[in-house]
Amino acid sequence: MRKLAMLGLIATIHLGAAADPRIGSWTLISAQSMLDPPNKLSITALHDGVHVVTSGETHVDFTGMWHGHESPVQGNPAFNQIEVRRIDKHQAEVKEMKDGAVVATVRDKLSSDGNELTMTTAEKGHTNQITVWTRTGGTKVADNLFAGEWSEDLSKTRLRQGLMLKIEANETEGVRFLGDFSYTARFDGKEYDVKNSRNDTVTLQLVDAHTVDAVYRRDDKVAQRDRWVVSADGQQMTLTTTGMLETGQQVMEKLVFQKQ
């Protein structure tokens, strides 16, 4: 009887270790983000170009000419050159470059009334990022509808459009997470390395049969906390994440995934 009881206990432990409700393949179906403070965008029309300033999550300040030639950008670690090209009255293309090499291409598209600006950022190795802005000030300029003061519309912004996740059990009674970043970890309170991420390590906790908490650390400090909740039927998963950007700004995201 004691042996049977011990076998039962071992089985329970093994089941508990492998009972990550997130296991499966998932596709992002909606995303919302909240920044404190929200992003602001200012576009000032020039004779043959634009002066662009963003504040909030990131700070960018550059002047680009419509002639499509490279212009220098100061104080931005991601890119140090910019190339601006007008496609038509409602569309423009911006190429962000680092030492002459294109690192990202941004396609700007205005609504027909000129009050909504959609930016689609394409970067090699990443899914497209879509950011929507609403005009909140500034006088419309007839020959440059992009000019004005804009605020990010968080209800329409999709930070990681079409993101795919794959979470699977592995042979060490842990889980292997594959998405924008990756890790292999167990629910034992220990820190595990994270790859392709600005965070260094992750710690996992199985809260209940439908909930997983993840804590990420960067430079030995807590940088991000995630809570994953899987629906009762196992077909939908909601991620609520809060964290601190390298700029010191706090961000909260809510992502909803559908099982494939």
- Confidence tier at 39 by pLDDT (50, 70, 90): confident
| Domains assigned to the chain | 21-34+161-259 (2.40.128.20), 39-152 (2.40.128)
| Phi, psi dihedral angles at 9 (to 5 degrees) | -65, -45
Q: For residue range 69-104, list pLDDT tens digits in order.
A: 888 888 777 889 999 998 988 999 999 999 999 999
Taking residues 1-21, report their average pLDDT.
42
Question: Taking a C-beta distance cutoff of 8 angstroms, is the pair 85, 92 a contact?
Answer: yes
Least-confidence region, from 6-10, 47-51, 65-69: 6-10
Higher model confidence: residue 255 or residue 176? 176
Whether residue 38 has pLDDT greater than 70: no
pTM of full prediction above 0.85: no
The overall average pLDDT reported for the chain is 82
- Confidence tier at 56 by pLDDT (50, 70, 90): low
Whether residue 6 has pLDDT greater than 60: no
pLDDT of residue 129: 78
Whether residue 150 has pLDDT greater than 80: yes
